[in-house]
Structure 1
Amino acid sequence: MLIKHAQILYDPIADKIASGNFGSVYRGYFTKENGEKIRAAIKVCHQEAGEKDDGGKAVAAKEAMMHEARLMAEYKFENVITFFGLACDHSPIVLVMEYCPGDSLENHLLADRGDTVIERVLYCYEAARGMRYLHIQGCIHSDFASRNCLISAEGIIKIADFGLSKFVDELNPQTAKLKIPIRWMAPECFGRKAQIIQKSDVWAYGVLIYEVFNKGGMPWPGDKDFKAMAKRIRHGNFFVGFVFYIAF
């Protein structure tokens, strides 16, 4: 859905939530066609392609934002973030999405607010529902983790951040350039014939369960020997340096 910059309102200083390689996210407002103003998350492209010679970074940023918008426009489901529209009537390119005031699941878990086992199981269940829906739609998320699950005002888990996602029919598994954080990568993501498939998301979901029941902690915390980690994953040797903080 194409919208206009005039429908978007945010303070670029006070409303900033986060920043990534290709864009920054702000909390703000979006005015619908009927005049209704709602809270929204505003993702703004860092640079507009063609502004300067930066080794292709501006072009990559623009392409990444357009790709993410195209994917998000396909999805309408309770456990997937809602996409309101793309503003490209002038630079910078802006994506407008549902705003989730509950923060990311990762930050919620790290805050250790005393969630019960039932609540943690519910987080996993809702994340699984979102993943199942995406897979039915033919999507491979490619970066499934607690940091990319947001919590709505109603406490519902919403899968977000489709920057690395692809449709199954547009992916060449033999030549895919993998950018997934290594701790969430499945065995098939390594090696000369590395591939990423929907089952790779299922593997990452298993790591998300680990996060949920370990207070947001990730596997092998503090370990920076990525080659060793990759070898453990490929050979199924998960208990070397594996830390458990079971949240019971």
Structure 2
Amino acid sequence: MIRIIDKGSFGEVWLGRIQSVEVAVKIPLVAACREDFIREAQKMHAIWHAQLVQFLGVCTKPQEESVLVITEYMPNGALNKHLQTEEGRNLQQIDLLFIMDQVANGTVYLESIKLVHRDLRAANVFVAKDGRVKVGDFGQSKMLSMPSSCPADLKTPIRWSSPEALINGKEVTSKSDVWQYGILWYEVFSYGDVPYEKYSRRGH
């Protein structure tokens, strides 16, 4: 691994290299989700779509009870940060519409295979060198038929949570991704502003 490129509440992302090819390596920090990551990897290894960050594989370290999730590297980083750069600020409305179209194509595919992303927001959409975008970070995603062993506090930030996810913790469906896609429109057309800024960052 070369250097750390991002760090969040549940993991770190490093820039790595495999046989001269740059890759992104995600290291989950929540041990309780290890089995979920492995099961999700087993499902995702056969998933491919032009608007999804390509999943390349996993490496496990049994002695450390850790899992390394390896995906393609998106040089321009997360969309929310990219929109606030000079290059992002210069994007025209037609460019922003194209971004939303690409994300829609990716999420339609996810629905077709019954995979709910559960954390669809600009921070989890990534920008390639040529400006194309792809949906990534499937750490909270779930096959509709797959149980989860993650702790209950692993929730989507409240600003992006759908009503059904907020009411008594009702099980989410692909419709929850549609709700989050609507919030994403605000993020994109405000060039990276945080939705519902006055609300707490805490999850439900």
The two structures, once aligned, show a CA RMSD in angstroms of 2.5
Structure number with larger C-alpha Rg: 1
**Paired AA for residue 97 in structure 1:** T
Partner of residue 128, structure 1: 104
CA contact (8 A) 1:30 1:96 kept: no
**Paired AA for residue 76 in structure 1:** W
**Which contiguous aligned blocks of 4+ residues in structure 1 show a shift greater than 4 angstroms?**
89-92
Shift of 1:61: 4.4
CA contact (8 A) 1:67 1:163 kept: no
Which of 38, 42, 62 is 1:70 aligned to?
42
* Cα distance between partner residues in 2 of 1:70 and 1:106: 29
Partner of residue 73, structure 2: 99
Partner of residue 26, structure 2: 43
Gaps of 5+ in 2: none
The count of residues paired between Structure 1 and Structure 2 equals 197
Higher RCO by CA contacts (8 Å cutoff, separation 6 or greater) = 2
* Cα distance between partner residues in 1 of 2:201 and 2:146: 33
The alignment's TM-score, normalised by the length of structure 1, stands at 0.71
The alignment's TM-score, normalised by the length of structure 2, stands at 0.85
Gaps of 5+ in 1: 1-9, 32-36, 47-56, 231-248
Shift of 1:41: 0.6
In structure 2, relative to structure 1, the CA distance for the partners of 1:197 and 1:45 (3 Å cut) is closer
2:6 equivalent to 1:18: yes
Partner of residue 196, structure 2: 220
CA contact (8 A) 1:23 1:61 kept: no
**Paired AA for residue 187 in structure 2:** E
Shift of 1:106: 0.6
In structure 2, relative to structure 1, the CA distance for the partners of 1:177 and 1:139 (3 Å cut) is farther
Deviation digits for residues 42-71 of structure 1 (CA, Å, limit 9, x no counterpart): 12344xxxxxxxxxx53x142343244234
Matches within 5 A, 1:49-68: 57-58=30-31, 60-68=32-40
Partner of residue 246, structure 1: none
**Paired AA for residue 27 in structure 1:** L
